[in-house]
């Protein structure tokens, strides 16, 4: 591949540049918090389901949290959030949590109290905790290493408004935190089913941040067109419905890995949303979680620092299994063929009710209780995917 090497950014880092060859042999760290347990956006919202708590419980049950690996996420203070977010918006968000309601003015101005971004009891503290984890991750990675923070990945948040279930934008804050720690060149890779409009808003014109997104075409937020290249370092690949493991392997090997390698990043941030998996109720892609595991494993050696965030994912079993598996992959654990009883019990204990109706539990196929790894979902490599990749390769 003959991609041009973007020059070293002209903008000086805020502090001394971190060592280019930082040691990265320390065990990966997992940033979690109990604030996610029992927190819900409301009975009718896709984010009424447990997600991070399932991951934490699964990796504990599997014996995958060694001494010192769990890091409790701090809650970011408004002063830290102001690194990207508007002070008036942060005030409005905190006031909405305290009051439990918003005015029409605030709803229109800041996108709070809408169907997507409802008023709920932890509506400031929960996203501020995810943001605090991402900011901390940037600091902890100064000298290298790998971190998984499944509560992060809220890639739609805008400076002055909530957007697409995201009240704050922790990936942006993670990148700014890395930069403040002296990390110069950052590759952001996003394999969520939705385009990261908030992150692109922040860095589309910043040549020190390589941005690659693979997302479903014709789906909200309808940004991320193939020909939107930012300052030349933005690679958007919209993919058709039914996008399968074969196609993702092709995208990985022809787009993601060569572009990241050529960029020579000092850090890679992966938004590892779980909503491109076949069972997700909000999108129409057809990956197995093997696609995600393989991308995590392949990106890890490409930079001395690796931050894996969560993101979308609205089927509670596929989300929990996928992100627990990501942690296993980061640690080099073999994923078990059959989960031990304690881990199966966690998955069997999840209830997924339709819009709060107790009468209509959605029950998954049995393998979502008994395994972490999906059966592969190979398929045809369609012309639409091939042709669009060729367009991006030719840039
Ligand atoms: Zn998504």
Tens of pLDDT, residue by residue over 232-277, are 999 999 999 999 999 999 999 999 999 999 999 999 999 999 999 9
- The C-alpha atoms of residue 218 and residue 197 are separated, in whole angstroms, by 14
pLDDT at 364: 83
Q: Decide if 162 contacts 326 (C-beta within 8 A).
A: no
Question: Separation of 66 CA from ligand 1 center, angstroms?
Answer: 30
Q: What's the CA-to-centroid distance between 219 and ligand 1, angstroms?
A: 10
Mean pLDDT (whole number) for 154-161: 98
Distance 216 CA to ligand 1 centre (A): 9
pLDDT tier at 353, thresholds 50, 70, 90:
confident
Handedness of CA 57, 62, 67, 70 (dihedral sign): negative
156 has catalytic annotation = yes
Tell me the domains of the chain and their CATH numbers: 29-393 (3.40.800.20)
Surrounding ion ligand 1 within 5 Å at CB are: 192-194, 273, 275, 312
Classify 1 as helix, strand or coil.
coil
Q: Is a pLDDT exceeding 90 seen at residue 18?
A: no
Alpha helices in 82-232 (DSSP H): 87-99, 104-110, 125-140, 170-180, 197-203
Burial class (CB in 10 A: 0-12, 13-18, 19+), 229: middle
pLDDT tens digit string along 24-39? 458 999 999 999 999 9
Q: What is the pLDDT of residue 25?
A: 54
Among the listed residues 51, 43, 41, the one whose alpha carbon sits nearest the alpha carbon of residue 120: 41
CB 155 within 8 A of CB 166: yes
> How remote is the CA of residue 23 from the centroid of ligand 1, in Å?
33
Average pLDDT over residues 286-300: 98
Q: What distance in angstroms lies between residue 1's CA and the mean position of ligand 1's atoms?
A: 30
Q: pTM for the complete prediction?
A: 0.93
Q: For residue 102, how far is its CA from the centre of ligand 1 (angstroms)? A: 26
Catalytic site residue from 45, 85, 110, 156: 156
- Report the separation in Å between the CA atom of 26 and the middle of ligand 1, taken as the mean of its atom positions: 31
Q: Which of 246, 77, 278 is nearest to 168 (CA)?
A: 77
């Amino acid at each position: 591949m003959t991609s041009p090497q973007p020059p070293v950014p002209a903008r000086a880092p805020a502090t001394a540049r971190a060592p280019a060859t930082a040691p990265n042999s320390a065990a990966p760290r997992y940033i979690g918090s109990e604030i996610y347990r029992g927190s819900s956006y409301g009975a009718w919202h896709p984010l009424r389901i447990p997600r991070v708590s399932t991951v934490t419980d699964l990796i504990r049950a599997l014996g995958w949290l060694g001494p010192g690996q769990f890091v409790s996420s701090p809650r970011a203070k408004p002063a830290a959030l102001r690194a990207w977010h508007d002070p008036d918006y942060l005030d409005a968000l905190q006031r909405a949590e305290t009051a439990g309601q918003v005015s029409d003015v605030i709803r229109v101005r800041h996108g709070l109290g809408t169907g997507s971004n409802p008023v709920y009891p932890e509506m400031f503290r929960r996203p501020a905790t995810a943001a605090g984890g991402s900011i901390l991750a940037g600091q902890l990675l100064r000298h290298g290493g790998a971190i998984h923070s499944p509560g992060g990945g809220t890639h739609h948040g805008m400076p002055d408004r909530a957007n697409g279930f995201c009240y704050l934008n922790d990936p942006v804050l993670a990148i700014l935190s890395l930069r403040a720690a002296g990390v110069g060149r950052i590759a952001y890779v996003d394999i969520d089913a939705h385009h990261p409009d908030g992150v692109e808003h922040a860095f589309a014109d910043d040549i020190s941040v390589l941005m690659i997104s693979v997302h479903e075409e014709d789906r909200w937020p309808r940004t991320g067109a193939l020909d939107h290249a930012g300052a030349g370092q933005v690679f958007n690949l919209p993919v058709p419905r039914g996008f399968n493991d074969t196609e993702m392997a092709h995208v990985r090997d022809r787009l993601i890995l060569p572009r990241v390698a050529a960029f020579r990043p000092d850090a890679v941030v992966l938004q590892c949303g779980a909503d491109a998996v076949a069972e997700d109720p909000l999108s129409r892609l057809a990956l197995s979680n093997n696609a995600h595991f393989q991308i995590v494993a392949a990106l890890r050696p490409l930079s001395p620092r690796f931050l894996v965030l969560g993101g979308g994912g609205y089927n509670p079993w596929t989300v929990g299994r996928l992100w627990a598996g990501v942690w296993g992959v980061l640690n080099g654990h073999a994923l078990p063929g059959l989960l031990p009883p304690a881990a199966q019990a966690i998955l069997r204990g999840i209830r997924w009710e339709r819009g709060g109706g107790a009468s209509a539990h959605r029950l998954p196929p049995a393998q979502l209780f008994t395994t972490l790894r999906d059966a592969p979902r190979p398929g045809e490599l369609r012309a639409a995917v091939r042709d669009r990749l060729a367009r991006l390769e030719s840039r």
